[in-house]
Amino acid sequence: MKVAFIVLALSGLAFSAPQPKKLFHEHFEDFMDLIVAEVGEELSSLSEQYIQYDEFLVSANYLISSNFKDLVYEMEFLPEFQAVVDFLENDNIDILYFINIFNEFIDSFEISRKTRQQATGKDFNSFINDSINLFPKEKLAALYDQKMSEDEGFRVAMENLSSDEWSSVFNALWQSEIFQSEVNSLNENGINIHLLLNEILAIFGQN
């Protein structure tokens, strides 16, 4: 009987102990898992179709080139970019994690003739738009609302990203001449940064 009481007491302590908080990138993975579960095959088919187009390959090849890597490296030394990194890290948002995810995404393309998903264009920007259109928007929005109501860390992070302070930090980066030259380099290689930012919102079901 005494052993039973000890087991019950330890069980009570285990359930009452503070549970580890979910990191922001773990929340992000929840959204990505939902997308893959719902439309993973369609997105794979779409990428297989786009990889056959020269217009798309111009952008894809640029993103794996030394020129793009140099651009990212140069960004790390921008004070305005560091201010963005510091702001995000306050909410445990690791920007390097998202850069690595983006690199893995680019490396994942494989040339294939199996295409079921219809592309609306041939370039990288069309690919981003077509991808967003496949997202399960209602389910992503529902997951977002659930996390906002149930997870304080997630809610605070998202509220901070809607704050005047964030707008000020991000606008300072956007007004940097060096950053603008890098945005222009992306545009010259068929990549619209506004669409990439829009895709981030879409992943969270917010557009």
- The burial class, CB within 10 Å (0-12 / 13-18 / 19+), for 139 is middle
- The burial class, CB within 10 Å (0-12 / 13-18 / 19+), for 3 is exposed
**Assigned token pair, 144:** 């977002």
Residue whose C-alpha is closest to residue 24's, from 93, 84, 96: 93
Counting other chains too, the contacts that 131-134 makes at CB distance below 8 Å and 24 or more residues apart are 131/43, 131/46, 131/199, 132/198, 132/199, 132/202, 132/207, 134/39, 134/42, 134/43, 134/46
Q: Which helix (H) or strand (E) holds 43?
A: helix 24-50
Q: What is the pTM of this model?
A: 0.81
Res 109: pLDDT: 57
Residue recorded with tokens 């619209």:
192
Taking the C-alpha atoms of residue 80 and residue 89, their distance in angstroms, rounded to an integer, is: 14
- Dihedral (CA of 119, 48, 31, 157) sign: negative
Res 37: pLDDT: 96
Res 56: pLDDT: 93
**Assigned token pair, 134:** 């496949």
- The dihedral over CA atoms of 34, 39, 45, 51, expressed in degrees to the nearest 10, equals -50
Res 98: pLDDT: 78
Our measurement of the distance from residue 202's CA atom to the centroid of its chain's CA atoms, rounded to an integer in Å, reads 9
Tell me the average confidence (pLDDT) per consecutive run of 10 residues in the chain, 207 residues long.
39 41 88 94 90 92 86 85 90 79 66 58 94 96 96 94 94 93 93 92 92
